[in-house]
Amino acid sequence: MLPLNAALFLSAILFAIGTAGVVVRRNAIILFMCIELMLNAANLAFVALSPYAGIDGQVIVFFVIAVAAAEAAVGLAIIIAVFRHAESVDIRNFSLLRW
């Protein structure tokens, strides 16, 4: 069996990569992918913890997957709507709202 720490470590690294991606990337789609990465890092943590903390962890993952799918559907729709205005998904172009 995989050591727990290793799995958690991997999940933490994935989470950190996702977080860093949100800060540094400019493309809205990539940003969204980074966020999905964060959610999946959490999923990984749940799965890795479930032998130790209870089967609930695996159930939770199903919910998270479903939620992520809903978010993806809405998110992509929003990005399309934005793209129609700006002809671009570069988030640097979106600063009508500020200050």
* Residue 10: CB minimum distance to another protein, A: 13
Least distance (Å) between residue 9 CB and another protein: 12
- Which residues here bind another protein, judged by CB under 8 A? 1-2, 8, 11, 15, 18-19, 22-26, 28, 31-32, 35, 38-39, 41-42, 45-46, 49, 52-54, 56-57, 60, 62-82, 84-86, 91-92, 94-99
Residue 29: count of CB within 10 angstroms of its CB: 13
CA distance 95 to 86: 11
d(CA 65, CA 72): 10
Instruction: Please answer whether residues 88 and 95 qualify as being in contact, where contact means their C-beta atoms are separated by less than 8 angstroms.
Output: no
Query: Considering beta carbons, is residue 6 or 69 the nearer one to another protein?
Result: 69
Q: Which is nearer to another protein, 10 or 71 (CB)?
A: 71
CB of 17 to another protein, least distance (A): 12
Beta carbon of residue 36, minimum distance to another protein (angstroms, whole number): 8
| Distance of alpha carbon 34 from alpha carbon 32, whole angstroms | 5
Contact call for residues 28 and 11 (beta carbons, < 8 A): no
